[in-house]
Each structure stands twice: as C-alpha cells, then as structure tokens.
Amino acid sequence: MDDAIDDIFEVDPGWAAIQRSIEHDAEYVGVLPPCVLSENYECDGCIAENVEGCPVGSDGGYRAYLANLRDSLIEHQIEHQKERAARIRLLQGILRRHKLPLHWEYIALLAMKEAPGLFESKESVRGFLFFNRDVFTVIHEGVFILAKYQL
C-alpha cells in the first residue's frame, strides 16, 4: 500500500526526511545547506550530499524559501534580544532607584506600572528575574538584587 502512495505522489521517503531536516535547521537553528550559501551550489558536507537530483541545489525558489526561513529566525532572535534588553533596563532601573534588595512581587508591581506591555504578568517578571542570573541575584527567598551590587 505504501508503495502505491509513493508512486502516486512520486515522493522519495528518504528525501522527505532530509527535506524536513533541512527546513528544521533553517527555521529553528539558522543553518542553511552549503549549496544555498555557495556560488556554484556545492554539496560537500550537506545532509543531502549523496541524494541524486537533490532539488535544493537545482531549485532557486526552494533555496530562497530556505533563506527566508533562516532570515525569519534571525529577525525573531533580534526582536527577542531587544525585548530582553528593554526588560533588563527596566528592572535594573527599579533596583537601582530603590538601592535596596526587593521582593519580586514589589519589583513586578513597579515594572507592570512603568511598562504595562513589557511583561505579561507578575509571574513573568519573577521568571525573568530568576532565569537571568547574570544580571539579578536571589539573596533570600523571592528577594533580588543586581548581580554586581555589593551590600
């Protein structure tokens, strides 16, 4: 039965797995096959290197599609970095202004008041503080200071 389906759609199951891997790497890792990056579409080191009639090297539209997937990932990463930097600046400002260790709920209250759209909830502020240990340090249960701040 599976052979009949492959004959109807003319799909090579091996190529389909390779294609999913290539698209995943472009969209989620930002890695493109060598043929997309090279001027002469060389396949050395590519996952599809030994696939006869590989459509990546021969189809300009597909190469553009892969580049677009990668570019979308890069744009998303840039936006994420900008948002992270804005959140850090806001929370650092709150902690610097008060010059005291503060409980995350108070920090969250001030952050939500100063920049309502930057965090989804008070708990998202807590998570951000907790998972950015390079900037914020827990000194007591739920109480944070700046990581480089000396008491």
With a cut of 90, say whether residue 131 has pLDDT above it: yes
With a cut of 50, say whether residue 6 has pLDDT above it: no
Per-residue tokens: 58 = 């021969």
The amino acid sitting at 45 is G
Give the dihedral sign, CA 130/135/138/143: negative
Question: Where in the chain are the domains?
Answer: 2-58, 82-146
DSSP string, 39-91: TT---TT-TTTT-TT-HHHH-HHHHHHHHHHHHHHHHHHHHHHHHHHHHHHHH
What pLDDT is recorded for position 42?
A: 67
pTM reported for the whole predicted model: 0.64
With a cut of 70, say whether residue 141 has pLDDT above it: yes
Higher pLDDT, 25 or 48: 25
Q: Calculate what percentage of the chain has a pLDDT beyond 70.
A: 75
What pLDDT is recorded for position 56?
A: 73
Would you mind telling me the total number of residues written for the chain in this entry? 151
With a cut of 60, say whether residue 3 has pLDDT above it: no
**Mean pLDDT value across residues 47-55:** 67
With a cut of 90, say whether residue 31 has pLDDT above it: no
